[in-house]
Structure 1
Amino acid sequence: MEDQARKAEILVIEDEDNIAIALDYLLTREGYAQTRLATGAGAVEVICKRRPDLVLLDVMLPEVSGYEICQSVRARPDCDDIRILMMTARGSAVERRKGLAMGADGFISKPFELKVLRDELRRMLATDRVDMTTGAEGAQDA
């Protein structure tokens, strides 16, 4: 499998240190390479420059919200294919619909069970980008 040939790169955008530390531990243990941003300012530029395999994006961030970041990434043709998994402590159905409407590929509520997060990361990294609002798959591999 191609994703196992090299470490998948995950960009974590999370302002809460305790959550970022827990994510760092889990992602390292799972064998992922990672980088963290603690604020939303400049996140779109970092995402498009680094082109990580996945962005783990908190909704509530200082300066720029995760929703705005997601929407801005999707509006840029040079990086609109990057997978985004949004996470929030306000995990209502309304928040989930809003995140998916902004272009997120997945949405997870905090606090999350480690197994649920691990399974979601594997699912998102193992498949083509999927439009979670319709369930339609993106471009197929040749």
Structure 2
Amino acid sequence: MPGKILVVDDEVHIRMLLEQTLEELEDEYDVELLTAENGEEGLDCIREERPELVFLDIMMPYMNGYEVCQAVREEEELADVKIILLTAKGQEVDRKHGLELGAERYMTKPFDPDEILEVAKSILHLED
């Protein structure tokens, strides 16, 4: 069953790189890719589109990724949304904080495109 993936990052080149990485899922599995440029826009998109998976940056304007993650976890109707924090903040304290807020995983930049693809396939239950 195809799903939706949302990429939320304020850096255009990161959004484009993630889109290029995930477009294989669009072609092979009819997954819909969505993007947002900041935390506020990302949270609005999550509420409207109900993506199954969100790749969420932490350091962004308007709302940071931690705030978005917390807001999503506080809304019962968004309980099924899986959040992957994807960030340059590689400290253990940051990782722990993200997971405590309800993120499914915490990945650091620079990321391995193959790992991103595998994580997305696993969470969306897509077959190889």
- 1:98 maps to a residue whose letter is H
SS of the equivalent of 1:85 reads strand
The match for 2:97 is: 98
The match for 2:87 is: 88
| Percentage of pairs with the same residue | 33
Bigger fraction of residues in helix:
2
Aligned residues of 2:85 and 2:98 also touching (Cα < 8 A): yes
Q: RCO greater where, 1 or 2, for CA within 8 Å and sep 6 or more? A: 2
Task: Note if 1:30 corresponds to 2:25.
Answer: yes
Q: Distance in 2 between matches of 1:105 and 1:113?
A: 18
Q: Distance in 2 between matches of 1:25 and 1:50?
A: 21
Structure 1's consecutive aligned runs of 4 or more residues displaced over 6 angstroms after TM superposition are none
Q: What is the TM-score normalised by the length of structure 2?
A: 0.87
Q: What is the TM-score normalised by the length of structure 1?
A: 0.79
Q: How many residues align?
A: 122
Aligned residues of 2:52 and 2:80 also touching (Cα < 8 A): no
Give the structure with higher Rg (CA). Answer: 1
1:12-62 CA distance string (max 9 Å, x none):
111101111111111112323211110112432321221011111111111
The match for 1:131 is: none
Unaligned runs of 5+ in 2: none
SS of the equivalent of 2:47 reads helix
Which of 14, 17, 26 is matched with 1:19 structurally? 14
Aligned residues of 1:108 and 1:117 also touching (Cα < 8 A): no
CA RMSD of aligned residues (A): 1.5
